[in-house]
């Protein structure tokens, strides 16, 4: 089985956007607030939104299962208050659940949290528990910067985040560290803010000893880990200067990287620098880059092609990247697949 650990519902029916527009309008005029969380989306509309996009690409590219979450750029935790974010997260997560029910062989859910700048992360725990225990989700997206590009929250290693980590360990679910929209004009959302956040999260984890407190906590840093693999020598050297253990011991029992890197040399570098056991296959399709590479004639986000070209990978290591590591990191995944009759 080829498992794509990083997919977002970027093609959701237009009613979802209409609901969000109502929510935002209602922040200024209470009479505009949505009166119901029933989006009026039919099963056929969900099928139509996927059949020509994610499902079509799964079939064409030879992938089997996508670990699927709400659209990251639309999480927009900086918009509105706690009630706004709670309602928006619930609506988005319920839609992912419907996708997984309609296509149990193709999608497994990961949840959006109702984060709000300045609000304790522990307030997100009820929605996380609902999604894992009731909806059968296997992970969460954790935004280290719910302010949207202004970085007002403490580092991920601060005790501010500990309640959510305790619940993650209890539920045996990993977090993909994933920011959302950028309000800061200095940072393009997908080209700068996302990659900056990946790099920042890695450096935050390097500077502290979080995993001494949470030895089974698991994080996935997406988009190939930002700058980390490219500057691995810098980070090894910084860790050494800080009197930290070697990175393999300090971080790599708990931190993993996905393959959302959109050219072959980048994937090749990732697999040369990062141990195979720490790499999870992912494409983020249909996502940040949707066009074809004129140099190859193939879609930039067809990341399976790049991995298939890696002649240095043994069959065993290729299987780890495509399947085994995802089953290891997402501790609840095997049980979900077994319940669905999948191997």
Spatial contact of 282 and 6, defined as CB atoms under 8 Å apart: yes
Cβ-proximal residues to 38 (8 Å cutoff; 6+ apart), any chain: none
What's the pLDDT score for residue 343? 74
* pTM exceeds 0.95: yes
Neighbour tally for 92: CB within 10 Å: 23
CA atoms of 247 and 253, how far apart (whole Å)? 9
User: Which stretches of the chain are DSSP H helices?
Assistant: 14-28, 43-51, 54-61, 82-102, 125-129, 162-171, 194-207, 210-213, 232-241, 247-250, 264-273, 303-308, 315-319, 325-329, 333-339
Catalytic residue chosen out of the listed positions 60, 284, 295, 323: 284
What's the pLDDT score for residue 288? 83
Residue with tokens 């930002």: 226
CB burial of 253-269 (b: ≥16 within 10 Å; e: otherwise) equals ebbbbbbbbbebebbbb
With a cut of 50, list the residues of the chain below it in pLDDT: none
For 182-212, how does the pLDDT look when each residue is reduced to its tens digit (9 = 90+)? 999 999 999 999 999 999 999 999 999 999 9
Percent of the chain having pLDDT more than 70? 100
Cβ-proximal residues to 90 (8 Å cutoff; 6+ apart), any chain: 37, 114, 127
Give me the sheet containing 107-109, strands edge to edge: 3-9, 65-70, 107-109
Catalytic annotation present for 295:
no
């Amino acid at each position: 089985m080829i498992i794509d650990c990083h997919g977002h519902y970027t093609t959701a029916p237009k009613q979802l956007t209409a609901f969000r527009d109502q929510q935002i309008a209602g922040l200024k005029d209470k009479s505009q607030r949505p009166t119901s969380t029933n989006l009026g989306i039919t099963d056929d509309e969900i099928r139509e939104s996927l059949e020509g996009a994610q499902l079509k690409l799964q079939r064409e590219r030879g992938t089997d299962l996508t670990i699927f979450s709400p659209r990251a750029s639309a999480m927009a935790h900086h918009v509105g208050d706690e009630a706004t974010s709670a309602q928006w997260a619930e609506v988005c997560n319920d839609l992912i659940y419907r996708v997984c029910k309609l296509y149990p062989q193709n999608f497994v859910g990961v949840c959006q949290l109702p984060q709000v700048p300045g609000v304790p992360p522990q307030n997100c725990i009820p929605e996380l528990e609902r999604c894992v225990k009731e909806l059968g989700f296997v992970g969460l997206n954790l935004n280290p910067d719910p302010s949207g590009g202004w970085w007002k929250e403490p580092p991920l290693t601060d005790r501010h985040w500990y309640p959510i980590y305790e619940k993650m360990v209890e539920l045996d679910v990993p977090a993909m560290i994933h920011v959302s929209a950028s309000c800061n004009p200095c940072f393009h959302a997908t080209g700068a803010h996302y990659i900056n956040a990946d790099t920042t999260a890695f450096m935050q984890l390097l500077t502290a000893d979080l995993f001494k407190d949470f030895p089974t906590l698991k994080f996935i840093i997406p988009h190939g880990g930002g700058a980390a693999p490219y500057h691995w020598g810098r980070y090894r050297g910084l860790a050494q200067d800080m009197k930290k253990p070697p990175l393999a011991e300090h971080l790599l029992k708990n931190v993993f990287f996905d393959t959302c890197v959109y050219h072959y040399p980048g994937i090749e570098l990732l697999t040369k620098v990062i141990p195979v056991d720490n790499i999870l296959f992912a494409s983020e399709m249909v996502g940040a880059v949707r066009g074809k590479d004129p140099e190859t004639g193939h879609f930039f986000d067809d990341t399976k092609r790049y991995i298939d070209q890696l002649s240095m990978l043994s069959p065993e290591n290729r299987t780890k990247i495509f399947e085994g590591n995802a089953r290891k990191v997402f501790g609840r995944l095997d049980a979900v697949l077994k319940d669905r009759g999948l191997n």
